[in-house]
Chain A
């Protein structure tokens, strides 16, 4: 195992692998949804569809970051989970305050209510997992 020395556990083993699996599922869901929306009806709600595409990209990069483990992988995953959390909360609040802004559903609308609120839980679990597997070197 290419590990960063004293890591108690790599981010890509144990519960981390389950997390990666769920990230992959969301990457597939968000990518196909965004791809289809942009390809067939982009003009209807460009902001919402571009946001879906960004969310899809973040899920893919987060999954890769967690799977790669190591120092760089952790940094990438940390950045993605943070952006995701800010995104899902921000879009959730905005879609409540001003529904006009997102005329069509995105992965993050209503705090991810269309996807069983998993988009809201996922970055929190990701950050917790990164924290639990941290080492002194990550400080």
Chain B
């Protein structure tokens, strides 16, 4: 982190784009599984795992920025969204494990559709300046 005054948002870069893309691909995959009456399988578990890794990386990059002196526009909402985000893949995984039917895949799909929305909200709460 170079201390440039506004070095761009730490949650609005390649990492965030990859996270959103991965989430949408997984949502589509899970949707196809649900439509084909398939329960969640290994690909969905691995996908959720990768998603979690991406979100943790996003969290680390946000933390680095905060330690480096940058501040989100709405700190309360920002950290709220961040904590929620980190919890989403495990939540989907646990619920999907409890429901080893097509509806388990539907749960993974639903959570993976919500996740990108939360990422975008996260980015918005970082960028609001002087609010």
Binding site for B on A (CB under 8 A): 13-15, 17-18, 20-22, 24-25, 28-29, 32, 36, 39-40
Q: How many residues of B contact A (CB 8 A)?
A: 18
Task: For the complex formed, measure the closest distance between the CB of A113 and the CB atoms of chain B, giving whole angstroms.
Answer: 14
Report B56-77 CB contacts with A as 1/0, cut-off 8 Å: 0000000000000000000011
**A28 in contact with B76 (CB, 8 Å):** no
> Interface stretch among B1-9, B13-21, B47-55, B91-99?
B91-99
**B114 in contact with A25 (CB, 8 Å):** yes
Binding site for A on B (CB under 8 A): 76-77, 80, 84, 87, 91-92, 95, 98-99, 101, 103-104, 106-107, 110-111, 114
Residues in B with CB closer than 8 Å to A36 are 76-77, 80
Residues in B with CB closer than 8 Å to A13 are 99
**B95 in contact with A40 (CB, 8 Å):** no
Docked pose: A28 CA to B82 CA in angstroms: 13
Q: Give the residue of A18, A39, A40 whose beta carbon is less than 8 angstroms from that of B107.
A: A18
Docked pose: A24 CA to B98 CA in angstroms: 15
In terms of DSSP, what is the predominant structure of the interface of chain B?
helix
Q: Give the residue of A18, A24, A39, A40 whose beta carbon is less than 8 angstroms from that of B103.
A: A18
**B110 in contact with A24 (CB, 8 Å):** no
**A17 in contact with B103 (CB, 8 Å):** yes
Smallest CB-CB separation from B98: which chain A residue?
A17
**A21 in contact with B95 (CB, 8 Å):** yes
Docked pose: A50 CA to B103 CA in angstroms: 34
Docked pose: A13 CA to B99 CA in angstroms: 7
**B111 in contact with A14 (CB, 8 Å):** no
**A17 in contact with B104 (CB, 8 Å):** yes
Docked pose: A20 CA to B104 CA in angstroms: 12
Docked pose: A18 CA to B87 CA in angstroms: 17
Q: Give the residue of A15, A17, A25 whose beta carbon is less than 8 angstroms from that of B111.
A: A25
Task: For the complex formed, measure the closest distance between the CB of B128 and the CB atoms of chain A, giving whole angstroms.
Answer: 13
Docked pose: A15 CA to B92 CA in angstroms: 15
**B77 in contact with A15 (CB, 8 Å):** no
Residues in A with CB closer than 8 Å to B106 are 15, 18
Smallest CB-CB separation from B80: which chain A residue?
A32
**B110 in contact with A18 (CB, 8 Å):** yes
